[in-house]
Chains A and B, each alone.
Chain A
């Protein structure tokens, strides 16, 4: 008769638990790092008792370090989750959250706001709006392309076109900008940094990010069904049109809301889901939460480097790429052929 062995999901669950523990450790290390030295055991004592011998502890921890750490966690998680969701949806492990033009749109919005001398809130709002607008444009163009075309391919192509359009518009903004003040501001924004993120930004961004991440985590298993392509997914009972719309909406929402406060941070959304898939396997039910955890740990560590390598802070976007590229290559070389 049939031997029904229990499925080996215990491996995935223990990996997720390990990643969670690792994240807590990384958070504690990050809390202790900085110009004002704090010991990890003092921090733990403070977190549990609320008391500390060091009177500066609460100010340094709560007001200075914590917002930045949370920002790194949220940004890392958001970019990794949307990267994982897009890789699953486009059935391509080389896809990043930028595929539909969200970061070029956001970059243009921010450059335009800087050119118009808007304040920081104005920059964030325009960046968020144009980020979403770029995705909406890509989606609409692909929808209008006739029904007999491959829908996924049409999305990728319209995303490329829209991305290129907004990248050119960013160059136009740079060209028009005042070279002493505004051009550097635009350039720095595009490099990405967590230095200027404050607690009030986070209060707005976190709910939006959660509103996008939670559905993606819950839809993880269904995302697997798309891996055999549009028609097979339809024949299995998935309303692909509606499903794709939901995934794009959630992924763009979280990416745009993070980019608008941090600027452009590349690589994370491409390599983290990729590495995560190598470790935990392609089942998006586990891959998405696992990308969330590893992505936030990764970006937090990178940000620790960004703020502690030298007294002059290095933009985060630069470090993610410098570290990410060789790390990725080493990982690809070491892991097996299985992922592709």
Chain B
């Protein structure tokens, strides 16, 4: 699988002192982060705090009121849609289409950024699409109708579509929210592999454990501001979780056997 982008200079996605909102209403302010290919950043925060808004700004769907968002030091508004999509892929939270496309066709939509205005996918594009489905273990779905799949299967198809884009960064909005436990673990495993293949991943999630799992960076957002960000091990603490979510959680070091050398969150009820 050649989703491995160049291994030379890492690319950089950056937000500097960004303020975001819709119309005149400010939702988030003072957002700073920097992400390189090969890193994962988990966005944590309560419902409705603006995680999706932040991701949308990162993708250029909404413009920041203040501050700058750059990809490779160039403001994202200066990037053409096509060039940007060759570098940054998006896995949104909900997926629907009124038309009964086959799974294989949906995955091929990921090739848009690599095709000319009047072109349609060639054999080479189809092979890439197949490889992406194979990598996620969903090649058996290829002739099914996307509209008839379960939520979890759709999620996997959309991930395959984003991989067919051959991006260097992936922006994911709660990639495991609709999945059963097995699919959650499978998706996490893939995300970890992608990170090791030097993809940069920004992901909004409700599970602090995700950040421990990937050994990633974590950023807490609460009450419209970035509270704290850094390495998950240091950032995700019992005090921080209480502060952000208002609940009591114990953070333990998992036992060292089975190579589980990481922390876990256990809620107190």
Given contacts A91-B97, A219-B118, A237-B81, contact A225 B109 (CB under 8 A): yes
Instruction: Please tell me if the beta carbons of A283 and B105 are within 8 angstroms of each other in the complex.
Output: yes
Given contacts A237-B112, A338-B145, contact A221 B82 (CB under 8 A): no
Q: Which residues of A contact B118 (CB under 8 A)?
A: 218-219
- Interface check A92, CB cutoff 8 A: yes
Q: Which of these, B56, B89, B99, B117, contacts A222 with CB under 8 Å?
A: B117
Residue of A218, A221, A234, A237 contacting most chain B CB atoms (<10 Å): A237
Q: Which residues of A contact B126 (CB under 8 A)?
A: 4, 7
Q: Which of these, A146, A219, A237, A340, contacts B82 with CB under 8 Å?
A: A237
Instruction: Please tell me if the beta carbons of B104 and A239 are within 8 angstroms of each other in the complex.
Output: no
Contact with A along B94-119 (1 / 0, CB 8 A): 01111111101100011011100111
Instruction: Please tell me if the beta carbons of B89 and A235 are within 8 angstroms of each other in the complex.
Output: yes
| Measured CA separation A340–B148 after assembly (Å) | 11
Residue of B22, B105, B161 contacting most chain A CB atoms (<10 Å): B105
Q: Which of these, B23, B97, B110, B117, contacts A146 with CB under 8 Å?
A: B23
Measured CB to CB, the nearest residue on chain B to A277 is B99
Instruction: Please tell me if the beta carbons of A234 and B60 are within 8 angstroms of each other in the complex.
Output: yes
Given contacts A146-B23, A339-B99, contact A236 B85 (CB under 8 A): yes
Contact with A along B51-75 (1 / 0, CB 8 A): 0000010011110000000000000
Q: Which residues of B contact A225 (CB under 8 A)?
A: 109, 112
Q: Which residues of B contact A146 (CB under 8 A)?
A: 23
The count of residues in chain B whose C-beta lies closer than 8 Å to any C-beta of chain A is: 48
| Measured CA separation A41–B118 after assembly (Å) | 42
State the Cβ distance, B120 to closest chain A Cβ, in Å. 4
Given contacts A221-B121, A237-B85, A277-B99, contact A232 B80 (CB under 8 A): no
Q: Which residues of B contact A222 (CB under 8 A)?
A: 112, 117
Q: Which residues of B contact A219 (CB under 8 A)?
A: 117-118
Given contacts A222-B117, A227-B97, A228-B96, contact A238 B131 (CB under 8 A): no
Q: Which residues of B contact A2 (CB under 8 A)?
A: 127, 130-131, 134, 139
State the Cβ distance, A27 to closest chain B Cβ, in Å. 29
Task: Determine chain B's interface SS by DSSP, over half rule.
Answer: mixed
Instruction: Please tell me if the beta carbons of A224 and B101 are within 8 angstroms of each other in the complex.
Output: yes
Instruction: Please tell me if the beta carbons of A231 and B92 are within 8 angstroms of each other in the complex.
Output: yes
Measured CB to CB, the nearest residue on chain B to A8 is B143
Instruction: Please tell me if the beta carbons of A236 and B98 are within 8 angstroms of each other in the complex.
Output: no
Given contacts A148-B23, A218-B118, A222-B117, contact A236 B100 (CB under 8 A): no
State the Cβ distance, B129 to closest chain A Cβ, in Å. 10
| Measured CA separation A2–B138 after assembly (Å) | 12
Q: Which residues of A contact B95 (CB under 8 A)?
A: 228, 232
Instruction: Please tell me if the beta carbons of A228 and B81 are within 8 angstroms of each other in the complex.
Output: no
Instruction: Please tell me if the beta carbons of A227 and B81 are within 8 angstroms of each other in the complex.
Output: no
Q: Which of these, A3, A4, A237, contacts B113 with CB under 8 Å?
A: A237
| Measured CA separation A234–B112 after assembly (Å) | 10
Instruction: Please tell me if the beta carbons of A285 and B120 are within 8 angstroms of each other in the complex.
Output: yes
- Interface check B33, CB cutoff 8 A: no
Interface residues of A in 318-340 (CB under 8 A from B): 338-340
| Measured CA separation A20–B115 after assembly (Å) | 29
Q: Which residues of B contact A220 (CB under 8 A)?
A: 120
Instruction: Please tell me if the beta carbons of B100 and A339 are within 8 angstroms of each other in the complex.
Output: yes
Q: Which residues of B contact A285 (CB under 8 A)?
A: 120
Instruction: Please tell me if the beta carbons of B99 and A282 are within 8 angstroms of each other in the complex.
Output: yes
- Interface check B86, CB cutoff 8 A: yes
Instruction: Please tell me if the beta carbons of A228 and B97 are within 8 angstroms of each other in the complex.
Output: yes
Measured CB to CB, the nearest residue on chain B to A92 is B98
Q: Which residues of B contact A239 (CB under 8 A)?
A: 80-82
Supply 20 further A-B pairs (C-beta < 8 A) apart from A228-B96, A235-B92: A2-B130, A2-B131, A2-B134, A4-B126, A91-B97, A91-B99, A93-B98, A148-B23, A221-B120, A224-B105, A227-B101, A231-B56, A234-B85, A235-B85, A236-B109, A238-B81, A238-B112, A239-B81, A277-B99, A340-B98
Report which B residues bind A (CB closer than 8 A). Answer: 22-23, 56, 59-62, 80-82, 84-86, 88-90, 92, 95-102, 104-105, 109-110, 112-114, 117-121, 126-127, 130-131, 134, 139, 145, 147, 161, 165, 171
Can you list 15 A-B pairs, Cβ within 8 angstroms, ordered by A?
A: A2-B130, A2-B131, A7-B104, A148-B22, A221-B120, A224-B101, A227-B97, A235-B90, A235-B171, A236-B113, A237-B84, A237-B86, A237-B112, A238-B82, A239-B80
